[in-house]
Structure 1
């Protein structure tokens, strides 16, 4: 494994850091309220960052999402790259790639996905190419031009949001979410029709990895604010950061953040290298859920009473961290799925070995 960024990945990360740092400021976030920052989205697209994801791969996308997470920038960057660009590029037909990728690259089209939010699979049924059902909440659905829907049989379908029903839903974090309602809506299949579940498994693992990377950025931003605050804030003539208890809490948060980052990097690297990465994506998701929750709580705690102020910048990291925890499935759920997947893979390997021995 080599997580050293390529020159292209480094350039994309540095550009993203500059744009997010300049435009996703606390004052602008307050002005945006719960809405999307349209000016920031235009700046990202004008810089070619969504389109660059195809070249820099999932590991490169991780670097960009970390920068988004550091500033809790309110744009549909993660969902459009994961459920749009990468999904269509990997599993779309030649016609779908030709039709959809140009708009996704320049940002005129925005995608989102009705997975892996809990309850997404199993609520939608398909008959003759028409989808019926509902998904309780889909992130950034109100900004999307189309949504990637997972049906009960784990097939994937692209649906134009203009053809579906969208009821606004307010989440913990300002993700412009909506309840997706499908009443016989025409969709187009994504992925090989003869291999149901293959495209779904890959897109789901990609999403878990990407959102774990986003969580790493959220945690890093929360910790950076806590470190700055405890170095500036004095108690009895000494900075709070000089206290051992504060140092230990910050150190634990740092180690948790690095655990999220390295497990997410490993999963992303394996996908880019065309290696199996389902268990690695779940491992990253578990760390992002469990450790991410600890870190954003620590960030607020280290701010003392100020951390309880919902208008203080660190509170946004808390909201995003808790929302990502819920979106990834919460630690216990992810761990149970990871155990089932490991057991299934082990059984498959044993069956294959037995077959070879019998030959």
Structure 2
């Protein structure tokens, strides 16, 4: 197992850090409100970062998702890369890859997924297509209707441009094309990849929250000395750092195994559990370490808090993930 990124992965990560850092600023995020930043999405696609995921694999996507999370950038990058680009590249037919991949690489085709839940779908308001499983858990790629009454906005904890289908037909698997063979294999494979990718996103959210807390406590003084000199602050920050690293290393391991074609089900669930459980601890700590400033809804650290809690909800609560992991271990089904 080698967690050192390849030259291509490191170059893509560094480029992503520059693009997200330059364009996903607090001022631009505030101006975007609860919608996505269309200009940032265009810049990411023009830089070839969406396309790069095809070459750098799931571990490459985890590295790029971290950079998105650090800035809480409001674009459907992680979702479309894992549910669209990687899903089609891995499970699509030759004809589907030839037809769909150019648009996914260019960002003109945006894919999200209506699973594991269908009550609301993240980035549905930005999507051109949505992956939907049928009753046999066979995956279908369904076009999102472009009529105004087909999708209604849903405001989540985090601004993920989510939506709900107003008409059941809008998410009807029968109205789309099958991706992968019949049965649950493609569904389970894409779900595992998504759990790993969104765990990487959470690692970035937590790293960004902790970095803000460290910067704030290093300059904010109380009784004539920085807050960071207090042992209680140091211990809280150290716990948050260890949690963040646990999210990162489990996501890296799971992504590496996925790219290598090794059994990954239990590792994907483990990464998701750490991202959900430890992630919410970290973003709570980041907000708490800001003291009264952390209660300001307009403070940048509050965005990390919102994203961390949203990812906790999206990945599933810890007890549900542990129950599913227990079933996988009991059955010996770790593929």
Please classify the TM superposition score into its range, dividing by the shorter chain length.
Answer: over 0.9
Shift of 1:290: 0.2
The Cα offsets for residues 94-144 of structure 1, whole Å up to 9 and x where unpaired, read as 11111100000011111101123xxx3xxxxxxxxxxxxxx2100000000
- Which of 156, 159, 168 does residue 182 from structure 1 map onto? 168
Q: Which residue of 2 aligns with 1:128?
A: none
| Bigger proportion of residues as strand | 1
Query: What per-residue deviation string (whole Å, max 9, x for no partner) do you get for residues 44-64 of structure 1?
Result: 000000011010010011110
TM-score calculated relative to the size of structure 1: 0.90
Structure 1 residue 339: deviation in Å? 0.5
3-state DSSP of counterpart to 2:145 = helix
Separation in 1, partners of 2:52, 2:259: 14
Query: How many residue pairs align between the two structures?
Result: 329
The alpha-carbon distance between structure 1 residues 280 and 273, as it changes in their structure 2 partners (threshold 3 A), is same
What is the aligned partner in structure 1 of residue 109 from structure 2? 109
Cα distance in structure 2, aligned partners of 1:182 and 1:103: 26
SS of residue in 2 equivalent to 1:158: strand
How much has 1:152 moved relative to structure 2? 2.3
- 1:6-21 counterparts in 2 under 5 A? 6-21=6-21
Shift of 1:291: 0.1
Q: Work out which of the two has the higher radius of gyration on C-alpha atoms and give 1 or 2.
A: 1
Query: Which residue of structure 2 aligns with residue 325 of structure 1?
Result: 312
Q: CA deviation at 1:163?
A: 6.8
1:199: Cα distance to partner? 0.3
Aligned to 1:258: 245
Structure 1 residues 137-216: aligned runs within 5 Å: 137-162=120-145, 165-180=150-165, 181-183=167-169, 186-193=175-182, 196-216=183-203
Q: Say yes or no: does 1:277 pair with 2:264.
A: yes
Tell me the equivalent position of 2:48.
Answer: 48
**What residue in structure 2 maps to residue 228 of structure 1?**
215
Q: 1:240 aligns to what?
A: 227
Mapped partners of 1:150, 1:115: distance in 2:
7
- Post-superposition Cα deviations, 1:131-189, rounded to whole Å, max 9, x if no partner, equal xxxx2100000000000012221110010001793121110000000113432651111
- Name the TM-score, length of structure 2 as normaliser: 0.96
Contact 2:138 2:181 in 1 (8 A): no
Distance in 2, matches of 1:3 and 1:115, equals: 29
Shift of 1:276: 0.9
Cα offset for 1:332? 1.0
Q: Distance in 2 between matches of 1:77 and 1:169?
A: 19
